[in-house]
Amino acid sequence: MPSSAELRAQAKDLLLKGDTAGGISDLKAYLEAEPDDEGAWLELGAAYAAVGGHWIQACDALRAAVDIDGNVVDARLAYARALLQIKRPDDAAFQLLQAAKVDPDDARVLEELGIVFYEKRLYDKSVVWLTKAISIAPERARSHYAMGLAHEARRDMGGAVAS
């Protein structure tokens, strides 16, 4: 039987080689021995998300990562994205707002907040968060595109065209 460290290394290797099922299996075995490893929970959630159609399992794993260490922005961001896939935008917005408290200058989080608020048809809030994201990372085309959509939804065609 491999040690827990060997299991984790083997899981990462399998995931890198594209063997998602094998990587998931090894990560689950590793987490039985090391249930407090936030990084492994994040990897498991990402693996489930990569498979597609396994969003509930991804949410469960990512929630475990966030529960262990709520200050890991990548875990909250991944969890929010998975929550959106299972149609829980309010919970996704909460996770993103918490991530923004941890790192208020993470343009990915701010952009995602803008997109979540757009999906919730809160276009003014969407513009606020997207404006923050663009001010931090003006090179992110996705933020500009989302901003254009938010302006269009607000019937601000000048802002939409400018974005």
Q: What is the DSSP letter of 86?
A: T
pLDDT in tens, 119-132: 999 999 999 999 99
pLDDT in tens, 59-77: 999 999 999 999 999 999 9
Question: pLDDT per position in the chain (163 positions), as tens?
Answer: 688 888 899 999 999 999 999 999 999 999 999 999 999 999 999 999 998 789 999 999 999 999 999 999 999 999 999 999 999 999 999 999 999 999 999 999 999 999 999 999 999 999 999 999 999 999 999 999 999 999 999 999 999 998 8
CA-wise closest residue to 75 among 105, 111, 37, 107: 37
Rounded Cα gap, residues 96 and 81, in angstroms: 9
Collapsing DSSP states into helix, strand and coil, what is residue 139? coil
Dihedral of CA 67/68/70/76: which sign? negative
Collapsing DSSP states into helix, strand and coil, what is residue 100? helix
Residue with tokens 């996705």: 142
Q: How distant, in Å, are the alpha carbons of 113, 142, 154 from that of 131? A: 11, 12, 15
